[in-house]
Each structure stands twice: as C-alpha cells, then as structure tokens.
Amino acid sequence: MVDALGRIAWPQGGDRAQFNQSLTRLRESLQEFTPWLKQRTIHCLGHAHLDLAWLWPIAETWDAAQRTFESVLALQADFPELTFTHSSPALFHWLEAHRPELFQAIQRQVKAGGWAIDAGLWVEPDLNLPGGEALVRQILYGQRYCAEKFGQVSAVAWLPDTFGFSWQLPQLLTQGGIRYFATQKLGWNDTNPFPHHLFAWQGLDGTAITGVTLPPIGTDIEPVDMAQYACQWEASTEWQECLWLPGVGDHGGGPTRNMLLKARRWAKSPFFPTLTFWPCRAPYLTDYWLGQNPPLRMKASQPKSKIQNPKSLSPFGTTNSTSNSTEAATPPTATRSFTIAAAKTPCFRLNYGRPWPC
C-alpha cells in the first residue's frame, strides 16, 4: 500500500494527464484488496437523536419531531433503501394526537419494514436519579404503547445519549420484554475507556442482558470514520459486520439527501466494505450475529419476576390473578457498579470507573 501510494505522480507544472494515469495504475494495483474488503459489511440505519428537553422550549421539540419525520418519509420515497429508527413513544403519542396523518404514515412504514421503533422506554430518560417505580413506568408505558400502536413490544432499550445507568436495569429491562441494552455513552470516558463493543451486563439480582456499544450518533457518511469504527468493532468482537447511524441529531434532522447520495456512491466502490441499509423487518442485528456466531458468555439467569403482557398491566405493578394482590416491580436501584462478561475477555466488575476482576 505504501509503495503504491509512493508511485503517485503528484501534479507539478500542471501535468494533470500524468497524475490521472498514476491514479489509474494505483487503482489497478489495489484491486487485489477488494475481495477482502467486501467480506466486511457496514449496515446503515438512519437515525435522528432528539433531546425532548434541552436548549429549547417543548413546543420546539414537537416541531422538530414533525419536521424530522416528514423529511425521513419524503427521502424514503426517493431512496427506497433508506431505513430509519427512532425511540421515545412520547413523540409518537403527540403525533397521534396532533398530526394524525403523519402518525398513520409512520405506522404504514413500520408495517412495510422501512421504519423501526427501537424504544423500550417512554423517553430516553435520565437513569441516575429516578427510583425503581419511575424506571418501571418508563418501560411499562413505552412497551404498552408500542404493542398497541405498532403491533409489537420493542426488543431494544435504545439509550444512546443517557448519562449513566442504574445497576437494576438488566432485571427491569428483561422483565419488560427487552433483550438488548444499546448505548454509545460508555465510549465518552476519556480516562478509563470502556473496552467492549458487545457484552453481557449482569444486574444486581443476577439477570443478564446483552449490551451493544452503538456507533457515534449525529454522523454523516464519512468513509474514513466508518472504516475506523468498523476496524474497532471487528478487533473487539471478531465479527465483520457492524452498524452505522447516519443522520443529523440532538435537535432532530435525520439523514439528508447528500448523505444518501454519498452512501450510494461508496456502495459501488471496490475499495470500501459492503455498504447496505439494514432491513427493519430482519431480526435485530444482534439476533442476526448471535444466530451465526458462538453466543456471549452470559450467566444463565431468569428475573425473579416478569412483567406480563403490556396490555394487561396495571400502571402500579403486576396483578396476581389468584390472590388479587398487586406486586409493584420496584426493587431498590443502585448505580455504583455493574458486572459484564464479554467475548474474549474475563468478567469484570466496573466500580467507580476502576476495573476489578470478579
């Protein structure tokens, strides 16, 4: 590679023809790498992170959501390959009440497989301060709404931008029918970098949930950034397929036309991994991986209680049909430490930012 790059005839004195010829020779000399590159796949999934409450009034949140979702639907008409995901059933609830035609169009896209509702919780909440009851209600209301309006509960707790996670979450998420915990915030530590991209997070009661370190959010179709992330993912997991989340974020926005045009161009390049958009009808990406590869080394465990069908839930807990009593699924929360077991790595308990072997 270095030798091939060294033979480029950089234009001196305006000799553009010689420069172009050297680029052609370089392209020909690199063709041998194409099969190796194409064995790897980057799955794109459009995304638009939207903070419900940050630097603007709530009225602007609703407006940003409407503009974002209308933009995605318009782009999907011109770019049928585009798939998109969003969390926060609270946004869809507002659309249902105030923009019913837009909400119905989203429902049709979900049914057609072009749109995923990766929610799991009512919003993407703070998970440090709320108590157990508040966390249970986040899951309950989010899953119940997804089941009623989109025909299924969410398999994913989509929490890319949440600052910190209660140790009780694996148990509560699993009780709510959620199989995956997904965030990219663990990668924000500049002192003790989180070492895993795909791992098992074991909660306080022993319940384990599969954790996924998401790629950065608010990103473009930038081939260098995408290739670097794909290399990091493969080095960590030994798997040659990864996810990428193109789309403007924080204040909504989502994928742009320019991003999608660039994706089409790079998909045709012989010097870039296979580039596709992930079909939302397919199993969740980790379902696909775990179905084809050895499973994560997770301790077998079952939650001590299990949230029932979201449609039959009381907002105050799970109803016992034999005794007519109500058990609130509100175990104490803890935020001090959590245990993970990841492929190729020993089990660690991360306590106050310092890794200690179990």
Which residues carry out catalysis? 161
d(CA 86, CA 108): 15
Q: Which residues contact 315 (CB under 8 A, 6 or more apart)?
A: 137, 140, 141
Residue 115: what are its φ and ψ, rounded to 5°? -145, 135
d(CA 358, CA 353): 15
Buried b / exposed e along 219-249 (16+ C-beta atoms within 10 A): bbbebeebbebbeebbebbebebbbbbbbbb
Q: Which residues contact 65 (CB under 8 A, 6 or more apart)?
A: 50, 91, 94, 95, 252
Longest CA span, the chain: 90
Q: Which residues pair with 85 in a beta bridge?
A: 47, 116
d(CA 201, CA 129): 20
CA nearest neighbour of 118 among 160, 82, 77: 160
Token pair listed for 88: 């926060």
Residues in the chain: 358
Strand order in the sheet with 337-342: 156-158, 180-183, 208-213, 198-202, 337-342, 348-351, 354-357
d(CA 76, CA 182): 25
Say if CB 216 and CB 16 are below 8 A apart: no
* Amino acid found at 356: W
What is the 8-class DSSP label of residue 80?
T
Terminus-to-terminus CA distance in the chain, angstroms?
A: 44
